[in-house]
Amino acid sequence: MSSLKEFTKGIIKENPTLVMLLGTCPTLAMTTQAINGLGMGIATTFVLLGSCVVISLLKRLIPDQVRLPAYIVIIAGFVTLVSFLLQVYVPDLYSTLGVFLSLITVNCIILGRAEAFASKNSVGRSALDALGMGVGFTLALVLMGSIREILGFGTWFGVDLTFGVLEPIGLFSMPAGGFMVFGFLVAVVNRLSHYQISKKKMGCENCPGRAGCGGHCGTVSKTEGEGK
C-alpha cells in the first residue's frame, strides 16, 4: 500500500508542475499542442526514471560534496540517450522539442527528486516515486497542451473540433497564452486544495534549481498563505 502511495502522490497531491511549480520552462514552452506536451512528458519521465534509479543505486558511492555535479552528469547522460532514441524513432518530435530536449538536464523536477528522494530511498521506491512524478508532469503538460490547442488552434491531438464554424483564438497558441493558461490552472489548483498547499513547504527546499528562483519561491508561497 505504501509503495502504491509513492506512485500516486506525484500524480495529484504533490503534482510537480501544478502544485510544486517545478519545471515551469518546458511546461510553458512545449504545450502549444497536446501532442507536444505528451512527447515532452514522456521524454522527461524516461530521464527521471533512469536517473533516479541510477542515483539510488549509487547513493553510497557518490561523495556528498560532489553529489550535485555527479547527479547532473548522470541526468545529462540520460538526456543524451533520449535524444538519440527520439532522433531515430520519432524525428518529428525530436525537431519540435528542439533545444528543450537538452534542457531536460536542468529541469528542477529531476534534480529535485534525485536530491530529495532517490538519494535517500531504495531503488524500488525511487523508481515508483520517479514514475509517479513523471506521470503527474506528463498529465499536467497534456492538460495544458489540450487547453491551449483547443482554444488556440481549434483542434485536439490534431482532430478538428471547430467544424469550420468557430474561429480559434490565436492568442492561446502564442507565448502570452501559455503564461495565462498556466496562471489560471495554478489558481484553480489553489482553489481546489483550499489554499492548503501554500501552507505546506513548496518543493523549493528540495530543488537545487531553486537556484533559479533564489529560494524566493518560499516567500511567494508564504504570501499566498496569508490570504487565508
Partner 1 sequence: MKEYLMILFSAVLVDNFVLSKFMGICPFIGVSKKTSSAFGMSVAVTFVMVMSTALTWPIYRYILVPENGAWDLGYLKTLAFILVIALFVQLVEILIKRFMPPLYKSLGIYLPLITTNCAVLGVTILNIDAEYDFAQSLFNALGAGLGFMVALLLFSGVRERIERADVPKMFKGVPAALVAAGIVAASFTGFGGIVENLFG
Site residues, partner 1 (CB under 8 A):
21, 24-26, 28-29, 68-69, 72-73, 76-77, 79-80, 83-84, 98-99, 102-103, 105-108, 111, 171, 174-180, 182-184, 186-188, 190-191, 195, 198, 208-217, 219-221, 223-224, 227-228
CB of 160 to partner 1, least distance (A): 26
CB of 2 to partner 1, least distance (A): 31
Helix segments in 98-226, DSSP class H:
99-102, 108-113, 123-153, 175-192, 210-213, 216-226
CB of 138 to partner 1, least distance (A): 18
Task: Report residue 76: phi and psi, to 5°.
Answer: -60, -35
Residues of the chain by 3-state class (helix, strand, coil), percent to 5: 70, 0, 25
Residue placing its CB nearer to partner 1 in the complex, 164 or 227: 227
Q: 134, 63, 108, 128: which is closest to 206 by C-alpha?
A: 108
Inter-CA distances, 5 with 64, 198, 203, Å: 28, 22, 18
Residue placing its CB nearer to partner 1 in the complex, 133 or 181: 181
- H or E, element range at 89: helix 67-89
Residue placing its CB nearer to partner 1 in the complex, 77 or 168: 77
Task: Report residue 77: phi and psi, to 5°.
Answer: -60, -45
Residue placing its CB nearer to partner 1 in the complex, 103 or 123: 103
Residue placing its CB nearer to partner 1 in the complex, 128 or 140: 140
CB of 33 to partner 1, least distance (A): 15
CB of 64 to partner 1, least distance (A): 16
